[in-house]
Structure 1
Amino acid sequence: METTAREFNQNASKILAAAERGERITVTKNGRPVAILSPVSGTDAPVSPYPTDPMGEDPDAPVFHSESPVDWSAGRGDYLEGFGA
C-alpha cells in the first residue's frame, strides 16, 4: 500500500489499522518515499509505556506558578522581563 504524507495526516488511524492487519505502507511526500510503516512481527512485542496526560510526567520540569497571588496593579513589565517583551 502507498499513501501520501497528507493522506497519512488525515487518515492516520485507518492507515495504522492497515499496518496492524499486516500491510506494509510506504508514505510519500512530493512523489518520493519518506517512510515505511510495517507491522510489528510477533504477538509478544514489547509495548513501550506512554504518558497518561498530554505532556507526560517530568519531575524535573520547571513549575510556573507562584505561592502567593501576583499583584498586576503596577502592570506587566517586570513580570515579562526576559520573555522578549
Structure 2
Amino acid sequence: MVFEGRFTVKVFLEFLGRMVRRLDGRKVFFIVDRHSVRKAKKVNDWLAEHEDKIRLFLLPPYSPELNPDALASQDIKRTSFVTEG
C-alpha cells in the first residue's frame, strides 16, 4: 500500500484491514518494527477483535540484524561514494 503524508494509526489500520479482506479467511502473520503506531491502543484493540485473522510479532527494540530495512540503511551509511572532480 502506498500512502501520502505521515504514517498514522489510521493508515496502518487501513493497511491491516485490506490484508485481512484480501486473504479470504486465511490468517496472516506480520513481523514488524516497534514504530509507535504499531503499539497504539487503537491498533491493539483492532488486533484483539481480529485475532483469528491476523497477528503481529514485534521485533526487539533494537535489532538491526533482524530488520532488512535497518541492514540496508546501515550498508548505505557505511558506503561512501567518492566522485572525482
User: Would you tell me which structure has more helix in proportion to its own residues?
Assistant: 2
TM range (shorter): under 0.3
Query: Which structure's relative contact order is higher, taking Cα pairs within 8 Å and 6+ residues apart?
Result: 2
TM-score by length of 1: 0.26
TM-score by length of 2: 0.26
